[in-house]
Copies of this chain bind each other. A is one copy, B any other.
Amino acid sequence: MRKVYLSNTPRLEALELFLGKAPIARQTETIKVVDALGRVTADPVFAGLSMPGYHAAAMDGIAVKAENTFSASDQNPLQLSEKDSFVSVNTGNPLPPGFDAVIKVEEIQELSDGKVEIITPATPWQHVRPVGEDVVAGEIIVPTRHKLRPPDLGALLAGGITDIEVLKKPLAIIIPSGSEVVSPGAERSRGSIPDFNSTVIASYLQEWGAEPFIAPIVPDEPDKIRQAVSEASNKGDLIIINAGSSAGEKDYTFPVIEALGEVFLHGVATRPGKPTILGKVGNKPVVGLPGYPVSAYMSLEWFVQPLIYKYLGLPYPQRPKLDVSLGRRVVSEVGVEEYVRMTVGYVGDRYIANPLTRGAGVTMSLVRADGLLVIPANSLGYEQGETVELELYRPEYELKHNLLAAGSHDLIIDLLATALKERNPLMNLSSAHLGSMGGIAAIGRGQAHLAGVHLFDPDTNTYNLPYINKMLPDQKLHLINLAYRMQGWIVPAGNPDKVESVNTVVDKNLSFINRQRGAGTRLLFDHMLNKAGIKPEQVYGYEREEHSHLNVAASVAAGAARVGLGILPAAKAFNLDFVPVVEERYDLLMSDVFFISKDSKILLEIINDPEFKKQVEAMGGYSMRDAGTKEL
């Protein structure tokens, strides 16, 4: 039987154990100051020379002996002759010996005979930059464990320091493991997994100040993993193994570390990230990271970033915090510290945050996230509308211009986001795929700026307005047409099942892939079933839900379903066939607060731009004939 139990150690307890038992051994190296940006000092650095190295003119003008000018006044202008009683100087020139003051060029009158006239006496040392004003020899320029910034390099060079002892970047060896794992650029076959984790891990390590090295991919064979880890422990300062950190049949990270060194801990009380291994081999810290990307990156941040910062002696970086109102309920399990990726937008006068998918395999949730909600182990989560504190991935001033699009998603929304960013780099459009009904509800709660809706009402044979009037009868709202788009059957290339209608799907018992509750496309399908007198339970796969047109098409392309309902560009993305069913109206619903804002003006400008319309129609399956028309 496989070993199936991992420990449930609290994260901070695990970290303390790890930092205490296996710190990275400190090493230094001497490098050129001109190459030292971002490096960390090994010791305090003291200036070897003074800057300036002499008393210098601080202005363009003439150098004088102050005491020789004391008689000058408005009534009694004083004439001075060159060499003898003054010397012309430019800013930065050394003060000639015997001179102790500078008179600015604006305050002298040049006479024709090479003499100058002044009417104000100079005070001793006026407009003179004393030796060592910038940096004085012997003074401390930068302290120990200081990360060098551009002006630090300037002060070091000014102080005569051209070489500097810094902490060596720790060499972190990343060992990708897994028999199914292939290089990210390699041809993919069924069952192969591209190794993108190593690139992400290496990039993080680089940002944190380590020197990453990605070792060759090792198959799931204990001997080979053992050999790779053993070699890495001789060469590197830190070893990261990804993946095989769980307790499955082919998870060899644990036994390998145990055989070569010591495992401090296997299993952390977090979600994601639980199957993490912390240990050492020959006094080199070793981390076994989970294979799921989000788990791997979170675990890396929890355990490897502090390890590196401790080595560098730098304060551990903290993300900015922000209080937000929850747009949706977020539940959690007691006993596990949970990390939920969130999108954030500023709606009306408060920040609204919505959870992204929690799947540990969904890298895109990290790409889309604006912040992170950390739910403590003793909490069951938070209610919709509750105020919680987020750790931010992006600064607050960027989130202020984050437009939140709830509701149904369409590829045009992505094009809008691009056009917005091109007009104003601060503007960003985040989409929460809530479906049309969810979008109307989010607008109603003041939790989104706009929502894509395409809800057909069979009673009135119109779109959207009947639903909006029913759901939000008392709110002042605005509805703008974005496009008409073609919905149709997404089927394998060549339409082998000859899908024509909902009857074909039922008659041939085709495996169907549905959309989530509240999605306009699902309502359309329900309406079609209803019209044909078919009950949902007669459709094979009715309960299987995907959250986007593209995911429906992906399921059909992968053979996991024979048919789905969706839009043309989704079918095209997978070279599938598309059987048109109906042209539907896709509108944008906006709250009044947003509609009267400057941001919405920019949005509408784009929608009305003929270039933009052309671009959308070029995708196929869209008509922009009414784009920008106000329907409410």
Q: In the bound complex, do residue B134 and residue A554 qualify as a contact, i.e. CB atoms below 8 Å apart? A: no
Closest B residue to A359 by beta carbon equals: B133
- Shortest Cβ distance from A537 into chain B, in angstroms? 14
B297 touching A150, Cβ below 8 Å: yes
Contact: A200 with B154, CB < 8 Å?
A: yes
Is B144 within 8 A of A570, CB to CB?
no
A313 CB to closest chain B CB (Å) equals: 5
The smallest C-beta distance from A220 to any residue of chain B, in angstroms, reads 9
A137 in contact with B573 (CB, 8 Å): yes
- Contact: A367 with B141, CB < 8 Å? yes
> When A34-B184, A144-B418, A560-B55 are in contact, do A362 and B150 touch as well, CB less than 8 Å?
no
* CB-defined contacts of A548 to chain B, threshold 8 Å: 136, 139
Q: A37-B206, A422-B313 are in contact. Are A293 and B130 (CB under 8 A)?
A: no
Q: For residue A142, which residues in chain B have a CB less than 8 angstroms away from its CB? A: 367
Chain B residues with CB under 8 A of A425: 145, 309, 313-316
CB <8 Å contact, B140 and A554: no
A91 near B: Cβ within 8 Å? yes
Task: Check A54 for interface membership: any CB of B closer than 8 A.
Answer: yes
Copies of chain A in the complex: 2
Contact with B along A145-182 (1 / 0, CB 8 A): 10001111111111010100000000000000010100
Q: Indicate if A618 sits at the interface (CB-CB under 8 A).
A: no
Interface of A, secondary structure class, is loop
A216 at the interface (CB under 8 A from B): no
Enumerate chain B residues within 8 angstroms of A197, measured Cβ to Cβ.
154
Known: A196-B153, A199-B157. A50 touches B554 (CB 8 A): yes
Please, which residue of chain B has its CB at the minimum distance from the CB of A214?
Answer: B34
Would A153 and B105 count as touching, CB distance under 8 A? no
Stretch from A185-193, A383-391, A579-587, A596-604 that touches the partner = A185-193
Question: Within residues 41 to 84 of chain A, which ones have a CB less than 8 A from any CB in chain B?
Answer: 43-44, 49-55, 58, 60
Q: Report B-chain residues with C-beta under 8 Å of the C-beta of A121.
A: none
Given A51-B194, A131-B557, A554-B131, is A200 in contact with B153 using a C-beta cutoff of 8 Å? yes
The reply to whether the CB of A553 lies closer than 8 angstroms to some CB of chain B is yes
A213 touches B (CB below 8 Å): no
Taken together as a complex, chains A and B put the C-alpha atoms of A28 and B124 apart, in Å, by: 58
Scoring A residues 199 to 228 as 1 if CB is less than 8 Å from chain B, else 0, what string do you get? 111011011000000000000000000000
What are 22 A-B interface contacts by the 8 Å CB criterion?
A33-B199, A52-B361, A53-B558, A54-B190, A55-B558, A93-B180, A93-B191, A94-B190, A130-B560, A132-B554, A137-B554, A137-B573, A140-B414, A144-B418, A150-B199, A150-B204, A151-B366, A155-B366, A162-B184, A309-B425, A315-B397, A318-B395
Extra pairs beyond A44-B417, A145-B421, A155-B363 (13, CB < 8 Å): A33-B199, A53-B558, A54-B558, A90-B248, A94-B190, A105-B248, A130-B551, A140-B414, A142-B367, A153-B196, A154-B297, A158-B196, A314-B425
* Residues of A that sit less than 8 Å from B by CB: 1-2, 4, 33-34, 37, 43-44, 49-55, 58, 60, 88, 90-94, 97, 105-106, 110, 124-125, 129-145, 149-158, 160, 162, 178, 180, 184-185, 188, 190-191, 193-194, 196-197, 199-201, 203-204, 206-207, 246, 248-250, 291, 293, 297, 309, 313-318, 320, 359, 361-364, 366-367, 395, 397-398, 414, 417-418, 421-422, 425-426, 428, 543-544, 546, 548, 550-551, 553-555, 557-560, 569-570, 572-574
